[in-house]
């Protein structure tokens, strides 16, 4: 990826930089693979920077939201309500009401108590809510424990054994209509076998439902496709062909059934970088530190998930030296990379923490009273 380094020099760091050319190419790569009965709802939780959302709405994708705030951000960004799905284990009444009033496509429901509340709130508003049940398929994903969601022990979804009862229950309710099943097994998944296993589990569940005479028009397989954090320049666009063809091969849809995806990271991950300035080079007792002005408050993934983001010195190419790259926050977990080879680095150099477009800016916090990082795109310069 090339960066407008001269433009960066005058900006206050740290900030996020999004390459919308790569974003558009990524969106095109997805659209090339989609069949007419397949729909992608961008998982907005990955990044809600308005300029990024704008490109995604322009590409015609829907949105997958997990809060009232996200629903509002999507409506403001121009996503049509009929392409918005709304998931989450703990939906507040005002959030449900916002979704009902806007007329969103579907509530992905995670429990019976939640279903009852949606039914009641919809009744009061004189509406019928379309719902899909998030089923916990007890399928593991080969990823970090903190981002695995589809195991029986996780808090997400309705147990498979309860699926038929729950679907039957909606039939007695006046203001909800069950239109589908929803799944999501985890995030940063790179083994297509995990999606194949999910597909086979969905086939079993569909057969069970069919034995009760139930066929639902929509299947939503969630998101989770990973990106190459190690080699972002070699693999700037994820292998969407392999991803979609896994579902095409293993998932048996019924006639007329629509298939929905909720991709987040794979859409925006590679187009974003966190740009930071080197404050000090510090020789410690046993290590040399590059202290940058971005910290875990700006990009929490390394501290929270041991995640790796490639660090690139944008302004020095000379020589080689081994460093720990750390932030200014008063926490020992405020470390980006350890024992890392960079060109010889100096105060004032600009560095990019790559592949930070997803779950980067949006997870920033104001801890230590730090200002939130701004988000720029190539179109701003």
Q: How many residues bind ligand LLP (CB under 6 A)?
A: 22
The SS3 call for residue 264 is coil
The HSE-up count of residue 273 (CA atoms within 13 Å, CB side) is: 26
Closer CB to ligand LLP, 131 or 263, in the complex = 263
Is residue 308 part of the contact set for ligand LLP (CB under 6 A)?
Answer: no
User: For residues 20 and 31, what is the distance between their CA atoms, to the nearest angstrom?
Assistant: 16
- Residue selected from 19, 64, 70, 95 as contacting ligand LLP according to rule CB under 6 A: 64
Please answer whether residues 114 and 135 qualify as being in contact, where contact means their C-beta atoms are separated by less than 8 angstroms. no
Is residue 229 part of the contact set for ligand LLP (CB under 6 A)?
Answer: no
What residues numbered 134-173 form the site for ligand LLP, per CB under 6 A? 147, 149
Closer CB to ligand LLP, 43 or 178, in the complex = 43
For 224-305, where are the alpha helices, taking DSSP H only? 240-250, 265-268, 301-305
The DSSP call for residue 175 is S
User: For residues 62 and 261, what is the distance between their CA atoms, to the nearest angstrom?
Assistant: 10
- From the list 11-19, 219-227, 280-288, 372-380, the region that binds ligand LLP by CB under 6 A is 219-227
Is residue 218 part of the contact set for ligand LLP (CB under 6 A)?
Answer: no
Is residue 222 part of the contact set for ligand LLP (CB under 6 A)?
Answer: yes
- Residue selected from 265, 277, 309, 370 as contacting ligand LLP according to rule CB under 6 A: 265
Is residue 309 part of the contact set for ligand LLP (CB under 6 A)?
Answer: no
Is residue 359 part of the contact set for ligand LLP (CB under 6 A)?
Answer: yes
- From the list 13-21, 50-58, 89-97, 181-189, the region that binds ligand LLP by CB under 6 A is 181-189
Which contacts of 96-105 are long-range, i.e. CB under 8 A and separated by 24 or more positions?
96/121, 97/121, 97/125, 98/68, 98/71, 98/72, 99/68, 99/71, 99/129, 100/125, 100/127, 100/129, 101/125, 102/71, 102/75, 103/127, 104/65, 104/71, 105/62, 105/81, 105/130
Is residue 43 part of the contact set for ligand LLP (CB under 6 A)?
Answer: yes
Binding site for ligand LLP (CB under 6 A): 43, 46, 64, 87, 147, 149, 184, 187-188, 222-225, 262-266, 301, 305, 358-359
């Amino acid at each position: 990826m090339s960066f407008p380094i001269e433009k960066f020099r005058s900006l206050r760091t740290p900030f996020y930089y999004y390459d919308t050319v790569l974003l558009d190419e990524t969106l095109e790569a997805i659209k090339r693979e989609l069949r007419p009965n397949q729909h992608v709802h961008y998982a907005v939780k990955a990044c809600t920077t308005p300029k990024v959302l704008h490109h995604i709405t322009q590409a015609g994708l829907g949105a997958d939201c997990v809060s009232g705030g996200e629903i509002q951000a999507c409506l403001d960004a121009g996503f049509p309500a009929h392409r918005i799905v709304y998931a989450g284990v703990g939906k507040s009444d005002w959030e449900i009401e916002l979704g009902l009033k806007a007329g969103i496509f579907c509530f992905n429901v995670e429990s019976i108590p939640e279903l009852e509340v949606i039914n009641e709130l919809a009744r009061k508003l004189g509406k019928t809510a379309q719902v899909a049940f998030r089923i916990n398929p007890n399928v593991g994903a080969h990823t970090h424990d903190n981002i695995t969601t589809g195991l029986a022990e996780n808090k997400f979804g309705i147990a498979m054994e309860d699926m038929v009862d729950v679907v039957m229950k909606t039939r007695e309710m006046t203001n909800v209509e069950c239109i589908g099943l929803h799944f999501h097994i985890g995030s940063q998944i790179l083994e297509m076998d995990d999606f194949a296993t999910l597909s086979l589990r969905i086939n079993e569940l569909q057969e069970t439902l069919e034995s009760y005479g139930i066929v639902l028009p929509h299947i939503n397989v969630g998101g989770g496709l990973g990106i190459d954090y190690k080699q972002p320049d070699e693999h700037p666009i994820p292998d969407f062909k392999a991803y979609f063809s896994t579902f095409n091969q293993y998932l048996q849809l019924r006639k007329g059934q629509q298939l929905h995806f909720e991709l987040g990271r794979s859409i925006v991950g590679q187009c974003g970088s966190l740009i930071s300035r080197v404050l000090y080079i510090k020789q410690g007792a046993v290590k040399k530190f590059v202290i940058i002005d971005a910290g875990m408050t700006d990009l929490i993934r390394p501290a929270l998930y041991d995640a790796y983001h490639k660090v690139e010195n944008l302004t020095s190419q000379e020589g080689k030296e081994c460093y720990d790259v750390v932030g200014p926050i008063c926490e020992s977990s405020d470390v980006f990379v350890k024992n890392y080879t960079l060109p010889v680095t100096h105060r004032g150099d600009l560095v990019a923490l790559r592949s930070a477009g997803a779950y980067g800016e949006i997870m920033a916090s104001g801890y230590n009273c730090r200002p939130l990082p701004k988000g720029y795109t190539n179109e701003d310069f």
